[in-house]
């Protein structure tokens, strides 16, 4: 999952203008609308602008009217106590001429945030499991939806744009492009609690945790000094920040290309590589389309030149040819017979280029694509039918083996400067998307994020804990429930992978459980080795609902976790694990374990069931450490009696 690189901070600047609020006598933020749900038994802070000297708020649920004086610029802020769940209500705010909110319900509100697995819609690009039926049957007047627009800012904001015009009642048309996890969770909770449930979709795919954390919070975590120095050194001014960043980027690109040691590479004025034919012979081959992390170049970020020799039909000579390359992750510079024809960027942008007819001759030709991948997955991706050359009605497939040559390994360089105009920059989403809605009381937070921080687990552990504290401090709610989803299995299944970056990130997520009123939904068992966005979002939401029902609402008889190991005893060269509940094994014997021998090697042990709560492990050379499900895509098969999977652990 990659970051978006749009200049979204322009929207944030727009939101600073007086037109931030919808036109009305009493103007309210974009996220305060008809059909909203307000958290029951709380205090709702309403901010806005008015022309009169004071503003009075009256809610039809009863209680006293609240009147406050307007301040400079007509700003006002008032606090309106909310009753127990009920409705529909109206809320009127007047400075002499009323603005009325209608169809307002008091119930339960949950803030759902994170990157693309939380963002993933029922339909659209997501297409969750059984999505057509789920969308068609989604009419539910007890579920209300609010979707926050993708927006960035370098300083905290008071308002933010919203999709669909504000709060909307759940229906096939409103839910199709809404967070699937949020919707499925709300559907379950509304049915179990018997109240209206509002869910706020505050998400952005491909974004790291630091983008969702405050300036003061990020300052406490090592590794962000360069980005924070850019903000402070430029006085948080967007134009100055962009100029300084571009200078740093040019220097980094030159260093990256120089590190490759390839004489055929030189740098153009814009920092792009200029390549000349021919390249070396006898090069290795990778499968195209496909993410190179899954095959030829595991865990690789850098610059790779790929080459495909293709036979051009004689009838194409002198005619323009369309070159389709699917999606390229992240950037490409593309050549035909050594001549640059196009370049592109964006991991989810389909590349379709035209080769001028004057360059086309029948016979052998060479397509060369220089791919630059900055983080996460990389390569020429998509379906085989998307990678082809066509002329008229004829098509020549380019799928299959492509020769490749590595020009720069970014793992050997300082990290690429993070673009301040992209959604991965520290603080920009916290400022623009989280800060504005702090005035809306919520029951708690559901969080699903972490893929974009894989490879930085040591940094993520303190960062994630600080993010949680930031969000609680902002809301003056130190005990606010914060429930999160641990990353699912992904990439190539593996029996022994002690250095797994995905497992390390999952452990960094679990470190946050040391904070009070946190809980983790384990989803390791419903991942997809070939898709970072597994489709079974119904089960993800169900597991989150179990946590909320038990911990936030005290519903009896709910089991929200699988057993965990409470002891690991080493004796006689083996190990014995004791769990705090009964263990169920899917299959004939326990799987997913690796152990470290006295020789320092990690191996797969023999595992036997010694009791309902006990497992015994043995291995040649003895056992000094035990890990379970420690791999990108582990193969563990332990569950609790309710079917929930045992989480990864290290002992």
Which domain range does residue 612 map to? 565-650
309, 365 contact by CB (below 8 A): yes
Answer yes or no: do 484 and 357 share one domain. Answer: no
Domain end (from 412, 436, 471): 412
Q: What is the pLDDT of residue 280?
A: 59
Q: What Cα–Cα distance (Å) separates residue 139 from each residue in 38, 112, 143, 170, 176?
A: 20, 20, 9, 6, 11
Number of domains within the chain:
3
Answer yes or no: do 133 and 89 share one domain. Answer: yes
Beta bridge partners of 333: 343, 370
> In this structure, what token pair is assigned to residue 255?
């260093």
Is pLDDT above 80 for 369?
yes
Answer yes or no: do 438 and 345 share one domain. Answer: no
Residue 22 belongs to a domain with what CATH number?
A: 3.40.50.1110
* Strands 593-596, 602-603: pairing kind: antiparallel
21-25, 120-124, 621-625: least confidently modelled range: 21-25
pLDDT in tens, 515-533: 999 999 999 999 999 888 9
487, 501 contact by CB (below 8 A): no
Report which of residues 292 and 274 the model is more confident about: 292
> In this structure, what token pair is assigned to residue 584?
């169920």
Q: What Cα–Cα distance (Å) separates residue 489 from each residue in 164, 329, 424?
A: 34, 21, 23
Answer yes or no: do 547 and 569 share one domain. Answer: no
Q: What stretches of 139-278 show up as alpha helix (H) in DSSP?
A: 172-175, 180-193, 215-219, 225-233, 238-260
pLDDT in tens, 130-177: 999 999 999 999 999 999 999 999 999 999 999 999 999 999 999 999
User: Cis link prior to 305 (omega < 30° from 0)?
Assistant: no
- CA of residue 636 relative to chain centroid, distance: 25
Whether residue 261 is contained in a domain is answered as no
pLDDT in tens, 6-43: 344 444 444 444 334 444 589 999 999 999 999 999 99
Q: Tell me what the mean pLDDT of segment 540-569 comes to.
A: 97
Q: What is the pLDDT of residue 16?
A: 41
> In this structure, what token pair is assigned to residue 601?
């090697």
* Phi and psi torsions of 173, nearest 5°: -80, -30
Answer yes or no: do 518 and 618 share one domain. Answer: no
Whether residue 243 is contained in a domain is answered as no
Of 110, 201, 204, whose CA–CA distance to 152 is shortest? 204
Of 442, 447, 440, whose CA–CA distance to 468 is shortest? 447
3-state helix, strand, coil in the chain (%, to 5): 25, 35, 40
Q: What is the pLDDT of residue 24?
A: 52
Report which of residues 262 and 368 the model is more confident about: 368
Q: What is the pLDDT of residue 319?
A: 95
Whether residue 240 is contained in a domain is answered as no
Whether residue 4 is contained in a domain is answered as no
Is pLDDT above 70 for 645?
yes
Residues contacting residue 591 through CB under 8 Å, at least 6 positions apart:
607, 635, 636, 637
Answer yes or no: do 440 and 402 share one domain. Answer: no
Beta bridge partners of 567: 578
Helix H, strand E, coil C: the string for 58-88 is EECCCCCCEEEECCHHHEEEEEEECCCCEEE
Answer yes or no: do 387 and 496 share one domain. Answer: no
Answer yes or no: do 23 and 167 share one domain. Answer: yes
* Cα–Cα distance for residue pair 637/584, rounded to 1 Å: 8
Is pLDDT above 50 for 195?
yes
The helix-helix angle for 501-510 and 457-474 (nearest 10°) equals: 30
Report which of residues 338 and 94 the model is more confident about: 94
* Cα–Cα distance for residue pair 547/153, rounded to 1 Å: 33
88, 115 contact by CB (below 8 A): no
Q: Tell me what the mean pLDDT of segment 182-208 comes to.
A: 97
Q: What is the pLDDT of residue 276?
A: 45
271 burial level (CB within 10 Å; 0-12, 13-18, 19+): middle
Q: What is the pLDDT of residue 238?
A: 94
Residues contacting residue 90 through CB under 8 Å, at least 6 positions apart:
59, 60, 100, 101, 102, 104
Residue 394 belongs to a domain with what CATH number?
A: 2.60.120.260
Of 532, 528, 545, whose CA–CA distance to 183 is shortest? 545
> In this structure, what token pair is assigned to residue 639?
């569950």
Whether residue 117 is contained in a domain is answered as yes
Q: What is the pLDDT of residue 256?
A: 74
Residue 338 — pLDDT band, cuts 50, 70, 90?
A: confident
Q: What Cα–Cα distance (Å) separates residue 150 from each residue in 133, 153, 247?
A: 28, 11, 27
19 burial level (CB within 10 Å; 0-12, 13-18, 19+): exposed
Answer yes or no: do 288 and 334 share one domain. Answer: yes
35-39, 271-275, 324-328, 644-648: least confidently modelled range: 271-275
Whether residue 48 is contained in a domain is answered as yes
Answer yes or no: do 573 and 454 share one domain. Answer: no
Whether residue 237 is contained in a domain is answered as no
Report which of residues 331 and 414 the model is more confident about: 331
Is pLDDT above 60 for 266?
no
* Cα–Cα distance for residue pair 374/206, rounded to 1 Å: 13
* Phi and psi torsions of 314, nearest 5°: -60, -30
Answer yes or no: do 194 and 294 share one domain. Answer: no
Residue 3 — pLDDT band, cuts 50, 70, 90?
A: very low
pLDDT in tens, 485-497: 999 999 889 999 9
Q: What is the pLDDT of residue 383?
A: 83
50, 25 contact by CB (below 8 A): yes
Domain end (from 522, 551, 580): 551
Is pLDDT above 80 for 411?
no
* Cα–Cα distance for residue pair 94/147, rounded to 1 Å: 27
Q: What is the pLDDT of residue 23?
A: 45
591, 604 contact by CB (below 8 A): no
Q: Tell me what the mean pLDDT of segment 336-344 comes to.
A: 90
Tell me which H or E stretch contains 462: helix 457-474
* Matching residue, tokens 């009838």: 315
pLDDT in tens, 279-310: 556 789 999 998 898 888 988 888 899 999 99
Answer yes or no: do 28 and 135 share one domain. Answer: yes
Torsion region of 629: left, alpha or beta (phi above 0 gives left; psi -120 to 50 gives alpha): left
Whether residue 236 is contained in a domain is answered as no
Q: What is the pLDDT of residue 264?
A: 38
Is pLDDT above 70 for 469?
yes
Mean pLDDT, the chain, as a whole number? 91
């Amino acid at each position: 999952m990659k970051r978006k690189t749009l200049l979204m901070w322009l929207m944030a600047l727009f939101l600073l203008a007086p037109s931030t609020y919808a036109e009305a006598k009493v103007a309210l933020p974009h996220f305060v609308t008809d059909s909203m749900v307000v958290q029951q038994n709380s205090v709702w802070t309403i901010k806005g602008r008015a022309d009169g000297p004071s503003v009075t708020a009256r809610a039809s649920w009863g209680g006293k009217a609240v009147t406050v004086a307007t301040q400079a610029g007509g700003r006002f802020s008032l606090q309106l106590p909310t009753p127990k769940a009920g409705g529909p209500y109206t809320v009127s705010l007047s400075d002499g001429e009323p603005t009325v909110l209608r169809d307002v319900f008091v119930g339960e509100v949950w803030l759902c945030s994170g990157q693309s697995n939380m963002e993933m819609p029922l339909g659209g690009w997501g297409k969750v499991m059984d999505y057509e039926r789920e969308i068609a049957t989604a009419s539910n007047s007890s579920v209300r939806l609010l979707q926050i627009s993708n927006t960035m800012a370098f300083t905290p904001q008071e308002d933010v744009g919203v999709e669909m015009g504000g709060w909307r009642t759940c229906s096939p048309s409103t839910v199709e492009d809404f967070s699937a996890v949020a919707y499925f969770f709300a559907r379950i909770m509304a049915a179990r609690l018997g109240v209206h449930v509002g869910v706020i979709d505050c998400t952005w795919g491909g974004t790291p945790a630091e983008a969702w954390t405050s300036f003061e919070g990020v300052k406490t975590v090592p590794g962000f000094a360069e980005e924070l120095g850019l903000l402070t050194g430029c006085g948080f001014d967007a134009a100055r920040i962009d100029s300084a960043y571009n200078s740093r980027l040019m220097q980094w690109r030159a260093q990256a290309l120089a590190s490759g040691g390839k004489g055929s590479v030189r740098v153009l004025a814009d920092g792009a590589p200029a390549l000349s034919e021919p390249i070396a012979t006898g090069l290795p081959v990778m499968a195209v389309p496909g993410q190179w992390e899954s095959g030829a170049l595991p865990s690789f970020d850098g610059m790779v030149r790929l080459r495909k020799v293709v036979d051009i039909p004689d009838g194409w000579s002198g005619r323009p040819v369309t070159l389709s390359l699917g999606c390229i992750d992240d950037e490409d510079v593309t050549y035909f017979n050594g001549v640059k024809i196009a370049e592109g960027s964006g991991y989810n942008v389909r590349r379709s280029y035209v080769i001028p007819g004057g360059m086309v001759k029948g016979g052998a030709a060479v397509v060369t694509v220089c791919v630059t991948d900055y983080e996460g997955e990389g390569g020429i991706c998509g379906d085989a039918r998307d990678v082809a050359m066509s002329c008229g009605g004829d098509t020549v497939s380019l799928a299959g083996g492509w020769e490749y040559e590595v020009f720069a390994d970014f793992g050997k360089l300082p990290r690429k400067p993070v673009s301040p105009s992209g959604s991965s920059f520290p603080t920009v989403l916290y400022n623009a998307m989280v800060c504005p809605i702090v005035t809306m009381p919520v029951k708690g937070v559901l969080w699903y994020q972490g893929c974009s921080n894989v490879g930085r687990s040591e940094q993520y552990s303190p960062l994630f804990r600080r993010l949680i504290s930031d969000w609680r401090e902002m809301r003056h709610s130190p005990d606010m429930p914060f429930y999160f989803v641990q990353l699912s299995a992904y990439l190539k299944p593996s029996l022994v992978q002690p250095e797994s970056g995905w497992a390390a990130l999952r452990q960094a997520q679990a470190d946050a459980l040391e904070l009070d009123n946190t809980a983790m939904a384990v989803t390791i068992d419903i991942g997809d080795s070939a898709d970072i966005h597994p489709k079974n979002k119904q089960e993800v939401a169900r597991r989150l609902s179990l946590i909320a029902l038990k911990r936030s609402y005290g519903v009896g008889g709910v089991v929200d976790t699988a057993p965990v190991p409470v002891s690991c005893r080493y004796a006689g060269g083996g190990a014995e694990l004791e769990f705090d509940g009964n263990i169920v094994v899917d299959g004939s014997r326990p799987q997913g374990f690796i152990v470290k021998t006295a020789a320092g090697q990690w191996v797969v042990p023999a595992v036997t069931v010694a009791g309902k709560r006990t497992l015994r492990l043995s291995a040649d050379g003895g056992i000094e450490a035990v890990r379970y499900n420690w791999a990108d895509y582990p193969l563990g098969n332990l569950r609790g009696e309710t079917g929930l999977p045992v989480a990864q652990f290290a002992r």
